[in-house]
Structure 1
Amino acid sequence: MGLTDQYRSTGDLPGVIPVFPLAGAILLPRGQLPLNIFEPRYLKMVDDAMRGDRIIGMVQPDGEAAILASQMPGEKPPLCAVGCAGRITSWAETGDGRLVITLTGIMRFRIRSELAALTPYRQVNADWDEFAGDLVPGEGQAEVSRERLLEILKEYLDTHGLQADWRAIRLSSNETLVNSLCTISPYGPREKQALLEAKTLEDRNQMLIALTEKALREISPGDATVQ
């Protein structure tokens, strides 16, 4: 049984959750996101979550101005309407006061409203109903165009002189493959948000393929560099 399998329905999730605004970072259901926590407000957030249900919502600031504002202590920039909640599934202290945690995705949510919270971190009322299908492992993965995704992945890696663990890729389920590639993809906040909000797994897959095809078209063979 997985660490997030205890969430069987939207009623198993809290109505109010803390949120961690972070541009360019998305979490997807059953995916994993490592985080390096060092700001005092977010150290407090993790501390409180560990004493409670261990749930934190990942959400991006909404727009370029909001992204810049989010990097300034004490600022509360506008947030994108949709985020994804995760459970803290690993937690470690470092010698310099940081926390290194891993969030495992549970399901997406839509922000209904933000609380006037007294905590140093932000909290929102989360509406889960729109994304109830996220609680079904592998929902829609039979429709995923896996071969085309693997073709474009290989082309992207070859163009950039990168390697991949193809044995692990072959053993991955369609859901794990698509969501993992979306999480680590090099695209900007707007593109990441679109991937997060995709209605189905195949929609997300097709969007990822299209973004990668576009990125490859923008690189001429002479411009490609080995990294």
Structure 2
Amino acid sequence: MTNFVLVAGAWLGSWAWEDVVPPLRAGGHGVHPLTLSGLAEKQGVPAGQQTHVQDIVGEVERLGLRDVVLVGHSYSGIPVGQAAERIGNRLARVVFVDSNVPADGSSFVSGGLDWQAAVEASIAENGGFWAPLTAPDFEGQGLSAEQIARIVDGSTPHPGATLTEPAVLARPLGELPATYIKCLLDGAKPSDDVASLLAGGYWRLAEMDTGHWPMFSRPTELARILLDEAAR
């Protein structure tokens, strides 16, 4: 039996996986959606980058999980990638869902890109938190109006320190058994850092013809891909 640990991206909690959980459990697997500190029902809990890494490692250890597939969406690929190397032989595979990936010594906002500068500005303007997106930001991502409303209504401000503190990796990320799921409506190709990791021989690429939030737009298809990757 595989144990899936599901970690959603910025602003979201375990609730974001509600439509993905049933088909995974129907396959006879353990499924453990996780809310990171400072988000959703854990609002008010202080959190930095390493807090989120420990949230994931601690959940695996607390539940005594083995044959673990860690799934990180968007921002959460950064703490998930770090947690993957820290759980040792409990890990079966990492699946990055249209996500960022960690680089040792770098943070979510490292690099100086326009969107990263906008994140830093939002943190400065909102008391140390990254403000959630609004409905127009989700246009063109394969989501219905109802799905967009669900995401917007459930989102909570994201702790800024988790985005500005650097990742810590003990060994090359490319040595982990991993799958990267690229959501094509959010860009036709993986970012350069992901492309480099895919070229290393340990990582696989899967594609979905949907937007950046496939747990809402294509939950059954996403679950099928996760099941396929867990079986490798």
Same fold (TM over 0.5): no
Of Structure 1 and Structure 2, which has the larger fraction of its residues in strand? 1
Give the TM-score range, shorter chain: under 0.3
Q: TM-score, normalised by structure 2?
A: 0.26
Of Structure 1 and Structure 2, which has the larger fraction of its residues in helix? 2
Q: TM-score, normalised by structure 1?
A: 0.27
